[in-house]
């Protein structure tokens, strides 16, 4: 508003009497530029651009973010539902994962030679365990080439699998073992299944 910045009558105002009006000005210009850059970036990211207005951009951004959050929630719900279905669709009811009676010392052995992986499991059986085990193996990229399954009393499976070379570098035999343990309802902690202990 100051028509005359020097304000002759006022005392300690800015002494911009000399020719440097450009210190604060440049800073303000840079700030404005940064803000506009951010705004244009936002506008480039958000697909729903109703208008080019600053306020509209911010509003659309908010709407888009809420939409994204909702989609994430839906996806996660479906994910959980799907996994539940996976675990219980085969057999009708879901056995609670807690309270698992270890009748015998469970056995989870994973050995690997070249691209061939031999897996031997013997543990307490429960509904759907065979299915989930096969699912787990496939999810790990292990293609079952030959296997013998026995479910009379405990659940026992001996499988020879071939695995994709790409995943071979990533997957450790311990990883496979842990995955199988978790799948079978055991804690997934190797300490709870002593490897060298007299298993079964």
Please answer whether residues 157 and 121 qualify as being in contact, where contact means their C-beta atoms are separated by less than 8 angstroms: yes
For residue 28 the two structure tokens come to: 């303000």
- Per-residue x/- track, 14-53, DNA (CB under 7 A): x-x----x-xxx-xxxxxx--xx---------------xx
Of these partners, DNA, a second copy, none, which one is at the site of residue 143 (CB under 5 to 8 Å by kind)?
a second copy
Comparing CB distances to a second copy, the nearer of 146 and 192 is: 146
| Chain length of the chain | 200
SS3 46: coil
Per-residue DSSP letter, 192: G
Q: How far is the CB of 113 from a second copy (least distance, A)?
A: 17
Q: How far is CA 83 from CA 98, 105, 115, 132, 133, in A?
A: 17, 28, 29, 10, 14
Comparing CB distances to DNA, the nearer of 30 and 146 is: 30
Of these partners, a second copy, DNA, none, which one is at the site of residue 102 (CB under 5 to 8 Å by kind)?
none
* CA proximity to 145, closest of 172, 171, 117, 123: 117
Q: How far is the CB of 185 from a second copy (least distance, A)?
A: 17
Residues that bind a second copy (CB under 8 A): 3-5, 31, 34-35, 38-39, 41-42, 45-46, 54-55, 58-59, 61-62, 64-66, 68-69, 71-72, 75-76, 78-79, 81-83, 85-86, 89-91, 127-128, 130-131, 134-135, 138-139, 143-152
Residue bearing tokens 């911010």: 58
Q: How far is the CB of 24 from DNA (least distance, A)?
A: 5
Residues binding DNA: number (CB under 7 A): 23
- Residues 162/164/167/173 CA torsion (nearest 10 deg): 10
Q: How far is CA 171 from CA 4, 22, 80, 100, in A?
A: 74, 61, 25, 28
Q: How far apart are CA 14 and CA 93, in angstroms?
A: 79
From candidates 38, 48, 54, 66, binder to DNA by CB under 7 A: 54
Note the residues at the interface with DNA (CB under 7 A).
1-2, 5-6, 13-14, 16, 21, 23-25, 27-32, 35-36, 52-55
């Amino acid at each position: 508003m100051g028509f005359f910045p020097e304000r002759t009558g006022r005392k300690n105002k800015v002494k911009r009497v000399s020719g440097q009006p450009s210190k604060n000005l440049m800073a303000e210009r840079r700030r404005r530029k940064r803000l506009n850059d951010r705004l244009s970036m936002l506008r480039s990211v958000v697909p729903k651009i109703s208008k080019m207005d600053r306020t509209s951009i911010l509003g659309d951004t908010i709407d888009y973010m809420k939409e994204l959050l909702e989609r994430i929630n839906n996806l996660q719900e479906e994910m959980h539902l799907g996994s539940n279905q996976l675990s219980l669709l085969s057999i009708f009811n879901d056995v609670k994962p807690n309270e698992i009676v270890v009748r015998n010392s469970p056995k989870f052995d994973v050995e690997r030679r070249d691209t061939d992986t031999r897996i031997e499991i013997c543990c307490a059986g429960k509904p759907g365990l065979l299915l989930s085990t096969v699912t787990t193996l496939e999810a790990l990229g292990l293609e079952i080439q030959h296997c013998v399954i026995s479910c009379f009393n405990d659940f026992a499976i001996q499988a020879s699998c071939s695995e994709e070379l790409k995943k071979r570098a990533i997957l450790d035999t311990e990883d496979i073992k842990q995955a199988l343990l978790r799948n079978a309802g055991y804690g997934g902690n190797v300490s709870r299944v002593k490897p060298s202990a007299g298993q079964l």
